[in-house]
Amino acid sequence: MLKQALAQNGLIAILRGLRPTEAAAIGEVLYSAGFRVIEVPLNSPEPYESIRILRSTLPADCLIGAGTVLTPEQVEQVKAAGGQVIVMPHSDPKVLRAAKAAGLFLSPGVATPTEAFAALAEGADVLKMFPAEQMGPAVVKAWLAVLPAGTILAPVGGITPDNMQVFIDAGVKGFGLGSGLFKPGMTPDQVAANAKAYVAAWNALR
């Protein structure tokens, strides 16, 4: 289902710093703009409550997940809150296995081909290339030449509507969007405008 959601719209909203009181309104404008995967990093205020609110507010075809997941215990807490996707900055095998055992979708962070192959062997659904600023489209192209056919690489870090083209040309099928989409303190209208700009760029380039 994660791959299906990204096939519909390859943009993943990363809502670092989201507060529960704004979760419903921000989630609704993102869904209206076309986002179908939304992630609340666990270093946000009361992240499990925000995940609960998003899951209860948005339609079933929108996957809700947690980012910056660092321990197997956090995986269980995410599942209990209704989260469906585990996103990590790294590829700790203990966390990968906990996520798969819990029946959750999995997007670990990878920065080398060795990490990418190891994460796929553990059942990763989507590989988060992090930080994207360090790697760039040439690395994407090189990785995709050797990774299994159908592997989804999603660069995260510094992605803007203006620099998506070079990554898509290299074979990228998705992006994680952070501060260019949402920062703490933004109004729903501001997030909606950012979301529409990203979706318009994505649709034009795809």
Report how many domains make up the chain.
Answer: 1
- The enclosing domain of 149 has a CATH number of 3.20.20.70
User: What pLDDT is stored for residue 111 in this prediction?
Assistant: 93
| 165's tokens | 């083209």
Question: Does the pLDDT of residue 132 top 90, yes or no?
Answer: no
Question: Does the pLDDT of residue 17 top 90, yes or no?
Answer: yes
pLDDT higher for 43 or 135?
A: 43
Which domain covers residue 153, as residue numbers?
Answer: 1-204
Give, for 48, the enclosing helix (H) or strand (E). helix 47-57
Question: Does the pLDDT of residue 8 top 90, yes or no?
Answer: no
User: Is 39 considered catalytic here?
Assistant: yes
Return the bridge partners of 13, or none: 38, 177
Catalytic-role residue among 39, 76, 79, 141: 39
Rounded to whole angstroms, how far apart are CA atoms 111 and 96?
A: 16
Question: Does the pLDDT of residue 3 top 90, yes or no?
Answer: no
User: Is 46 considered catalytic here?
Assistant: no
Q: What is the pLDDT of residues 47-102, one digit of tens each?
A: 999 999 999 999 999 999 999 999 999 999 999 999 999 999 999 999 999 999 99
Rounded to 5 degrees, what are φ and ψ at 188? -55, -35
Asked which of 1-5, 74-78, 120-124 is least confident by mean pLDDT, the reply is: 1-5
**Mean pLDDT for the stretch of residues 26-46:** 98
Side by side, which strands form the sheet with 11-14? Answer: 105-107, 85-87, 63-67, 37-41, 11-14, 175-177
Catalytic-role residue among 46, 76, 100, 128: 128
Q: What is the pLDDT of residues 166-195, one digit of tens each?
A: 999 999 999 999 999 999 999 999 999 999
User: What pLDDT is stored for residue 51 in this prediction?
Assistant: 98
Question: Does the pLDDT of residue 7 top 90, yes or no?
Answer: no
